[in-house]
């Protein structure tokens, strides 16, 4: 099986799963775009993606 390299990835929906996936992809160096609306959009514009997991904190803006 060969590896797949992504130049750009879009996350449609930045809820719990999309946000988790987005943080991990961004930290891996993937050029990431996130689509959100309403209160989620306002929060992302203010704070960026944040992940609190197993006592650690990851952030991407």
Q: Give domain limits for the chain.
A: 8-52
More confident residue, 57 or 11: 11
Is residue 22 over pLDDT 70?
yes
Is residue 2 over pLDDT 70?
no
Helix intervals (H) in 1-61 = 16-27, 38-47
Distance CA 31, CA 15 (A): 19
If you average pLDDT over every residue of the chain, what do you get? 85
Distance CA 24, CA 26 (A): 5
1: pLDDT confidence band, cut at 50, 70 and 90? low
Distance CA 10, CA 21 (A): 11
Summarize the confidence of residues 7-28 as an average pLDDT. Answer: 88
Whether residue 30 contacts residue 9, with contact meaning beta carbons closer than 8 Å, is answered with: yes
């Amino acid at each position: 099986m060969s590896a797949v390299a992504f130049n750009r990835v879009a996350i449609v929906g930045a809820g719990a799963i999309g946000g988790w996936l987005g943080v991990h992809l961004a930290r891996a160096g993937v050029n990431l775009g996130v689509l959100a609306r309403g209160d989620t959009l306002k929060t992302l514009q203010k704070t960026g993606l944040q992940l609190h997991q197993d006592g650690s904190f990851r952030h991407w803006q």
